[in-house]
Amino acid sequence: MHVFRDIEELRDWRRSAALAGRTVALVPTMGYLHEGHLSLCRIAATHADCVVASIFVNPTQFGPGEDLDSYPRDEGSDLVKLAENGVHCAFLPTADMMYPTGYETFVEVQGLTAPLCGASRPGHFRGVTTVVCKLFHLVEPQVAVFGLKDYQQFLVIRKMAGDLLMDIRVVGGPIVRAPDGLALSSRNAYLSHRGRKAATVLYRGLAAAREAYRGGERDPGALRAVALEPILAEPLARVDYVEVLDAETLAEPSAERPMVVAMAVFVEKPRLIDNMVLGAALAE
Ligand code: AMP
């Protein structure tokens, strides 16, 4: 596996891959890798000849008071995991490289970024789309793979690629969960033993909403109330949002169309997000 820390090294490699007629799939990450990230690398390998995984804790997607400085990092172990999961190139740029002095250009998707995490974390998606757009220009992938755990992010990136006429297929990978249902997340590392147990309320809420949906419930307010119940009963959990929206547009849902139950919940220190699509699977 190549490990590139420099933009020019990456570009040289990309040019030689293009000359050899090899296609490239990109998996952007912030590191501290777990099975969720690695599943995306394996999916990426089924779509292209070479897989590039980036590790970059992107400062512009963190707000003031968020966990940019304490975000967990373990570069040595990350590189071993990427190499073991079929990644050909790891790209680890610095913030100075990605944001040259005096930069004043951003990429912003409107509409889709208004609800959910866009409402609770102002500027977050602008940081995400800006850095992903830069990574797309540097890596020039034919395919980019994002986890459906960050469901709104997946929709926003797909919209950006379409709106900006990028010739990149944005593929979604299923949410990887621990056996008790908790979605894997680098931020789970912040949880105490007690907090880790409490964190299962997110999945329990989603699973309860899914059961209600399977039982014929289609009223978004009722589905939301079912999802909220176990979370409100857990003293260590504090709801940021729990919403039921149209799975495609994130607008008001209607009973005939797939819905997404999306949530952000603080459990002790970390803010955890999770979601479940009801009515259809949305993978790409
Ligand atoms: P992050 O490092 O948190 O920015 O995540 C990098 C990529 O991994 C994003 O596309 C996430 O959606 C994806 N990801 C994170 N956790 C999971 C998970 N549990 N299952 C599937 N994909 C995930």
Per residue in 140-151, pLDDT (tens digit) is 999 999 999 999
Which active-site residues does the annotation give? 37
Mean pLDDT of 80-92: 98
CB 29 within 8 A of CB 37: yes
Mean pLDDT of 61-79: 97
18 and 107 share one domain: yes
- Distance from residue 81's CA to the centre of ligand 1 (Å): 15
Tokens 């990605």 sit on residue: 98
- Name the percent of the chain lying above pLDDT 70: 99
68: domain CATH number? 3.40.50.620
Q: Residue 123 and residue 161: Cα distance in Å, rounded?
A: 19
* Pocket test residue of 26, 32, 40, 157 for ligand 1, highest count of atoms within 8 A of CB: 40
Ligand 1 atom nearest to CA at 183:
19
192 and 160 share one domain: no
73 and 113 share one domain: yes
Please report the pLDDT score of residue 118 as a whole number: 98
Mean pLDDT of 99-125: 98
Q: Residue 124 and residue 118: Cα distance in Å, rounded?
A: 7
Q: pLDDT band at residue 283, thresholds of 50, 70 and 90?
A: very low
Token couple for 218: 């289609």
Backbone angles phi, psi at 90, to 5 degrees: -105, 130
- Distance from residue 75's CA to the centre of ligand 1 (Å): 16
Instruction: State if pTM tops 0.95.
Output: yes
Mean pLDDT of 98-117: 98
280 assigned to some structural domain? no
Site residues for ligand 1, CB cut-off 6 Å: 29-30, 36-37, 39-40, 146-147, 149-150, 173, 175-176, 183-186
CB 146 within 8 A of CB 171: yes
| Helical packing angle, 220-232 and 201-214, nearest 10° | 150
Backbone angles phi, psi at 29, to 5 degrees: -140, 170
24 and 112 share one domain: yes
- Distance from residue 185's CA to the centre of ligand 1 (Å): 7
86 and 144 share one domain: yes
- Which DSSP letter does residue 61 get? G
By the 10 Å C-beta count (0-12 exposed, 13-18 middle, 19+ buried), 11 is classed as middle
19 and 128 share one domain: yes
Mean pLDDT of 260-269: 98
- Residue 36 pLDDT greater than 50, yes or no: yes
- Residue 284 pLDDT greater than 70, yes or no: no
* Pocket test residue of 29, 37, 73 for ligand 1, highest count of atoms within 8 A of CB: 37
57 and 162 share one domain: yes
Q: Where are the alpha helices (DSSP H) in 103-176?
A: 116-120, 124-139, 151-163
Q: pLDDT band at residue 22, thresholds of 50, 70 and 90?
A: very high
190 and 166 share one domain: no
Please report the pLDDT score of residue 205 as a whole number: 98
Domain end among 115, 146, 173: 173
Q: Across the chain, what does the average pLDDT equal?
A: 97
195 and 159 share one domain: no
- Distance from residue 6's CA to the centre of ligand 1 (Å): 24
Instruction: Specify the number of domains making up the chain.
Output: 2
- Spatial neighbors of 278 by CB under 8 A, at least 6 apart, are 209, 210, 213, 223, 247, 258, 259, 260, 261
pLDDT digits (tens, 9 = 90+) for 158-182: 999 999 999 999 999 999 999 999 9
Ligand 1 atom nearest to CA at 148:
12
Helix (H) or strand (E) holding 220: helix 220-232
User: Which residue is closest in CA terms to ligand 1's atom 12?
Assistant: 147
Ligand 1 atom nearest to CA at 32:
2
Token couple for 50: 């070479």
271: domain CATH number? 3.30.1300.10
Domain end among 149, 173, 197: 173
- Of the candidates 175, 185, 145, 172, the one whose C-alpha atom is nearest the C-alpha of residue 41 is 145
Distance from chain centroid for Cα 3:
23
Domain end among 138, 173, 208: 173
Q: pLDDT band at residue 280, thresholds of 50, 70 and 90?
A: confident
- Distance from residue 259's CA to the centre of ligand 1 (Å): 21
* Pocket test residue of 74, 148, 149 for ligand 1, highest count of atoms within 8 A of CB: 149
Please report the pLDDT score of residue 26 as a whole number: 98
User: Which residue is closest in CA terms to ligand 1's atom 22?
Assistant: 147
Please report the pLDDT score of residue 282 as a whole number: 47
Ligand 1 atom nearest to CA at 33:
2
- Name the percent of the chain lying above pLDDT 90: 98
Tell me which residue range forms the domain holding 269: 186-275
131 and 164 share one domain: yes
Mean pLDDT of 220-237: 98
First to last CA, the chain: 28
260 and 138 share one domain: no
User: Which residue is closest in CA terms to ligand 1's atom 14?
Assistant: 147
Q: pLDDT band at residue 247, thresholds of 50, 70 and 90?
A: very high
212 and 71 share one domain: no
- Residue 281 pLDDT greater than 70, yes or no: no
